[in-house]
Amino acid sequence: MTHIDIQALNERIKNASLFVDSIKEELKHTIIGQEYMVSRLLMGLLSGGHILLEGVPGLAKTLAIKSLASAIHAQFSRIQFTPDLLPADVIGTMIYNPKTMDFSVKKGPVFANFVLADEINRAPAKVQSALLEAMQEKQITIGEETFMLPDPFLVLATQNPIEQEGTYRLPEAQTDRFMLKCVIQYPSFEEERNIIRQNTSGRFPEINQVANLEQIKEARNLIKQIYMDEKIEKYILDIVFATRDPETARLPKLKPLIQYGGSPRASINLALAAKTYAFLQHRGYVIPEDIRSVAYDVLRHRIGLTYEAEAENIRPENIISDILNRTDVP
């Protein structure tokens, strides 16, 4: 790609990504602070990747997702995951009509643009496997019929990291389907002061539509065209391969701590997340800082820790930091 091509692409991306700022401004009416969470939700929306949000209750996870759906006039659906939830409660089922003596399909709440899977780790394996088809294939099978899900389709799941009673650990195959795993933190002192004022004033601002689904689809096509140099591709591969073979990456101390590293899906999602991050910055090319900004969210749920690592209270974030600090930046 010539210098002129990159310049033209950069200008095109700059103009096409302006609507993202409008969405961010609109969300500020209901979401105080939490810029990181809003940014990652937009990344999932613009890249078509599912997101796993982890954080204690009360951090506006549900409100942020619902507000984002309103800002682009998308169909929103919320499913509260519980231990007694059945697959039919999520995807739908066949209903028998005694008058016609025939079965008809009743679609479940998964048929929406935004599906909020609240406390996803509370549902048993059968429900998780039903959701897995929707996440990977963007389709649902009910009886002998297969139905395509709306486009765009996005699963935004939340889980509580503290309470473990009555929860089921998500299988690795399912966590790998989430493009990003975001850890949501508490708001700052001033942000929480404003949250108190907003919620005790009795005035709750409504979210207006500032973008539409067509803009989202166009943005997805543009993001794929964002320029990524071969050196950046090598940087991504060096990071992911270091999670699999830390000794080759000059990190022998990590070998007894890592049970398994990132799959090829980690490399794909790291590249796609970096392109989307560049789009949010109104840029038509990827720089190393984009990779470093999204690496934790892409990799933290794709690195399996050994018992030794858990005994030493080492977290995936510690391993990712060591890899990023050791890997040569182009």
Local structure of residue 227 (DSSP, 8 states): B
| pLDDT reported for residue 164 | 62
Local structure of residue 207 (DSSP, 8 states): P
Alpha helices (H) in 164-255, listed in sequence order: 172-175, 189-200, 213-224, 230-244
Residue 36 corresponds to which tokens in the numbers above?
């990181």
Between CA 173 and CA 144, with CA 81 as vertex, the angle to 5 degrees is: 65
Q: What span, in angstroms and rounded, lies between the C-alpha atoms of 250 and 89?
A: 49
Burial 157-192 (b: 16+ CB within 10 A, else e): bbbeeeeeeebeebeeebebbbbbbbbbeebeeeee
Judge residue 274's burial from the number of C-beta atoms within 10 Å of its C-beta, 0-12 exposed, 13-18 middle, 19 or more buried. Answer: buried
Cβ neighbours of residue 293 closer than 8 Å, sequence gap 6 or more: 274, 277
Residue 291 corresponds to which tokens in the numbers above?
């990779």
| pLDDT reported for residue 163 | 59
Asked whether 92 and 140 are in contact (CB, 8 A), the reply is yes
Angle of the 18-27 helix axis to the 213-224 helix axis, nearest 10: 130
Query: Which of 174, 185, 183, 184 is closest to 302 using CA atoms?
Result: 174
Domains and CATH numbers, the chain: 32-198 (3.40.50.300), 226-326 (1.10.8.80)
Q: Identify residue 158 by its one-letter amino acid code.
A: T
pTM score, two decimals?
Answer: 0.87
Sign of CA dihedral 128, 133, 136, 139: negative
Mean pLDDT by 10 residues, the chain (330 residues): 68 87 89 88 91 84 86 89 87 83 84 89 82 85 85 86 67 84 89 86 81 89 90 94 88 89 92 94 92 94 89 90 89
Asked whether 271 and 228 are in contact (CB, 8 A), the reply is yes
| pLDDT reported for residue 2 | 46
Residue with tokens 């010539």: 2
Local structure of residue 101 (DSSP, 8 states): T
